[in-house]
Amino acid sequence: MIKYYVRVSTAEQKLDRQLLAYKGADIVYSDNISGKDKERPQLQNMLKDLKANDIVVVKSLDRLSRSTMDLLEIAQEIESKGATLKVIDKDIDTSTAIGKFFLTIIGAVAELERENILQRVKEGISIAKEQGKYKGRKKGSIELNGDSLERFKMFYNKGFNKTELSKEFGVPRATIYRWEKVLKERGEL
């Protein structure tokens, strides 16, 4: 069985480009969540559903993972179930030794590039702070109380995901995670 995994990081992004890139799948698994860790619902479902001789297809490695460690763990899990991984844009097929080798090398390069981007962003923020152009958000400036608190708990309990909650309350997803953590610690969720 051919299982096609697609992923976008934000609600604003579309899956169309990935879906048009491959049409031979028996089943498509799609996540709308960051690839920085492997705890993604549809990825986990796909890995759980894998059987011997299945083929997992992704358009590009970064759709599967942003971390070399996670990428190699996912590839190992696919292999341990007797399945193989094919990456469309790099023509990688882990049913071959050369495919396994290229997967490892390309995964390492992708992680290096991600780390370089993060470093450049940190450097840019540091320079902007020195020039007085970057102040950042005031700590505690986005608080949840009163009617907003009750509305948040209602939406949360109805199963709204982090992206939906972020849009509803007009705050970054990181704030939603912080609210969730605080409310769980207080026993309110």
Q: Are residues 168 and 102 in the same domain?
A: no
As a whole number, mean pLDDT of residues 89-103 equals: 89
Maximum CA extent, the chain: 60
Across the range 3-20, mean pLDDT stands at 87
Residues 89 and 177 in one domain: no
Q: Which domain holds residue 159?
A: 146-185
Read off the pLDDT of each residue in 158-164 and give the average, rounded to a whole number: 86
pLDDT exceeds 90 at position 2: yes
Distance between CA atoms of residues 136 and 129, nearest Å: 9
Residue 45's pLDDT is what? 96
What is the strand order of the sheet 92-93 is part of? 27-32, 2-8, 55-58, 84-87, 92-93
Element spanning 6, H or E? strand 2-8
- Among 83, 108, 133, where does a domain finish? 108
Q: Using 50, 70 and 90 to split pLDDT, how confident is the model at 173?
A: confident
Q: Are 67 and 37 in contact (CB under 8 A)?
A: yes
| 127 occurs within a structural domain | no
Is residue 57 predicted with pLDDT exceeding 90?
A: yes
| Pair 77, 152 in one domain | no
Is 128 part of a structural domain of the chain?
A: no
Please tell me whether residues 101 and 18 are part of one structural domain.
Answer: yes
What is this structure's pTM?
A: 0.58
Catalytic residue selected from 9, 60, 67, 166: 9
Mean pLDDT of the chain: 86
Q: What is the C-alpha separation between 141 and 152, in angstroms, rounded? A: 17
* Same domain, residue pair 97 and 160: no
CA distance 155 to 111: 35
What is the rounded CA–CA span in Å between residue 172 and residue 152? 14
pLDDT band at 27 (very low <50, low <70, confident <90, very high): very high
9 is catalytic: yes
Q: Residue 168: is its pLDDT beyond 70?
A: yes
The CATH number of the domain where 60 resides is what? 3.40.50.1390
- Number of independent structural domains in the chain: 2
- pLDDT tens digits along 118-140: 899 899 989 988 998 877 765 55
Distance CA 60, CA 6 (A): 9
Domain co-membership, 9 together with 102: yes
Instruction: Please check whether residues 100 and 168 belong to one and the same domain.
Output: no
Q: Do 12 and 81 fall within a single domain?
A: yes
Q: Is residue 63 part of a domain?
A: yes
Regarding predicted confidence, which is higher, 43 or 141? 43
